[in-house]
Amino acid sequence: MRYLADENIEYPIITILRENKVDILAVREIMRGATDSEIIEYALKNNLLIITSDKDFGELTFRLKKPSCGIILLRNPEAEFKEKAEILLAALQKIGDNALDKFIVIDKFKIRFRSME
């Protein structure tokens, strides 16, 4: 799987993911300041799953029916970046290829899947 980290994902998290062989691009490196819609379009064209902590992607996905390859919403605002990275790494290993066409919410205690179809 390949991923695209939204600008709200702390850069140290992206670094930790890369150190652990996660294939991830960062919006801040390739399209700084892009809108959420532009991010979804880029990710779809390039077969990338979006990792974000922005709940607005849920509105774009479900209310506005914007197509995407999949979205992972990281919900741990109070956690330090190292803890967030550990939670995300563990979740990505569990999720594997099951993330395609899903809206996935990850927090410290659980992973919730919702089909986007």
Q: What is the pLDDT of residue 109?
A: 85
Please check whether residue 32 is in contact with residue 55, taking contact to mean a CB–CB distance below 8 angstroms.
no
By CB atoms closer than 10 A (0-12, 13-18, 19+), residue 14 is buried
Q: What is the pLDDT of residue 23?
A: 97
Share of the chain above pLDDT 90, in %: 74
Is the pLDDT assigned to residue 90 strictly greater than 80? yes
Average model confidence (pLDDT) across the chain: 92
Is the pLDDT assigned to residue 77 strictly greater than 80? no
Give the chain's domains with CATH numbers: 2-115 (3.40.50)
Q: Where residue 98 falls among pLDDT bands split at 50, 70, 90?
A: confident
pTM: 0.93
Share of the chain above pLDDT 70, in %: 99
Contacts with 86 (C-beta within 8 Å, 6 or more apart), sequence order: none
Is the pLDDT assigned to residue 2 strictly greater than 80? yes
- Which strands make up the sheet holding 102-106, listed edge to edge? 23-26, 2-5, 49-52, 71-74, 102-106, 111-115
Q: Where residue 52 falls among pLDDT bands split at 50, 70, 90?
A: very high
